[in-house]
Every structure is written in structure tokens, then in C-alpha cells.
Amino acid sequence: MDMASIEEVIQGRRSIGKVKEDAVPKELLERIIEAATWAPNHFGSQPWKFVVMTGQGRRVLGQAYADVAAEKLGDLPEAELSDKLEKAVAQAFRAPAVIAAICSPSDDARAVAIEELAAAHAAVQNLLLSAHANGLGAVWRTGEPAYHPKMKSAFGLAEEEQIVGLIYVGYPDMAIPVGKRVPAAEKTVWLES
């Protein structure tokens, strides 16, 4: 593969929500996670960890989705409840690999919580860019279930830890959408002497 410039990788990356069922090699998943760990972080705190789910390992996430959904479903007839819970579990199987990115704050007294979160988010961006550069499609999902206490419990997270992204990864099975951005000049203010 030709090495693209960093700008080409950044501008070419898109959220790819439809991927093939083909397994992604462990070595490739390890490579994109390694890229994630090179994100900037204050005081070298490295406030992240990752849980990689493939095969039936995705059931942990699926069951967590179902547990969160069950709270809101109330007293539905058994057949309808069962159908909705199966659909919740199925969300975890939309890609052959799902990576839970977790902010695991440092105990360094100099660390600031919002900066630890920012570093974990930067790690997710590195992971997404590396996935794209390596021919993978990925989408960063969150939403209310990702932040629910039942999701934290499913992953055995400590009180101070939180999921910052559920990254679904696979080989693209859709056309890559055209990107649209407001020109940077319209979002930039220059303060000059």
C-alpha cells in the first residue's frame, strides 16, 4: 500500500457503519490500538485502556445493551420483550470486532479529569485514523447506553473509569461517503500584531 500523507488519511477517514463479517486479524487490531496509545496526554498519564471483543466475546457488550434496554421496556408481553432484547444484543454483532475505549484516569495529583478525557478521546481518533490507513472501516459509537452504569459494570470498570467509545471495526462494505467540511478559514480567527 502506498503511504498516504497524514492530511490524506485525516481527510479520507469516514465513519463506516457497514462492514463485512470477515474477521480482522489480531495483529491488525493490535496495530491500530498501538497507534491509539501514541495520543498526546498530560504528564505522560496515558489514561486509557481497551477491551477488544471478537467472536462470542461480543456477547458481553450485547448483554450490556440488553440490560440497559430492559430498564426502559417495562411490562411488555413476553414475545415483544424477547424480540426487543434480541435486537439489543444484536447491536454488538454489527462488526467482527468491537473495541471499547475506556478513560482510566491516572492517580497523578497533577492530572485534571477533563484533560484525561481529552487524551482518551485523542487516542480514539488515532485508532480511527490508523484503522482507515490500514484499509479498515470503523465507526465510533456512544450514546446513552455507553455511559450507563450497567455498561460500566459489564466491563468491570472502576468508579472513576468510563467508556469514551465503542469502536466497531471491520472491512468496509459500503461506498465511502464524500466528506463535507466548512472551510477552516471560516472557523479561524487570527490575532496578529
Residues 98-130: pLDDT tens digits? 999 999 999 999 999 999 999 999 999 999 999
For residues 58 and 95, the answer to whether their CB atoms sit within 8 Å is: no
Query: What tens digit of pLDDT does each residue of 7-21 get?
Result: 999 999 999 999 999
Topology adopted by domain 16-170: NADH Oxidase (3.40.109)
* pLDDT, mean of residues 166-189: 96
Instruction: Give the pLDDT score at 4.
Output: 78
Residue 77, pLDDT > 60, answer: yes
CA distance linking residue 153 with residue 146, whole number of Å:
11
Confidence of residue 61 (pLDDT cuts 50, 70, 90): very high
C-alpha cell at 116: 484525561
Query: Is the model's pTM score more than 0.85?
Result: yes
pLDDT score at 75: 79
| pLDDT confidence of residue 133 | 96
CA distance 151 to 55: 19
Average pLDDT over residues 150-167: 97
Q: Which residue has the cell 498516504?
A: 4
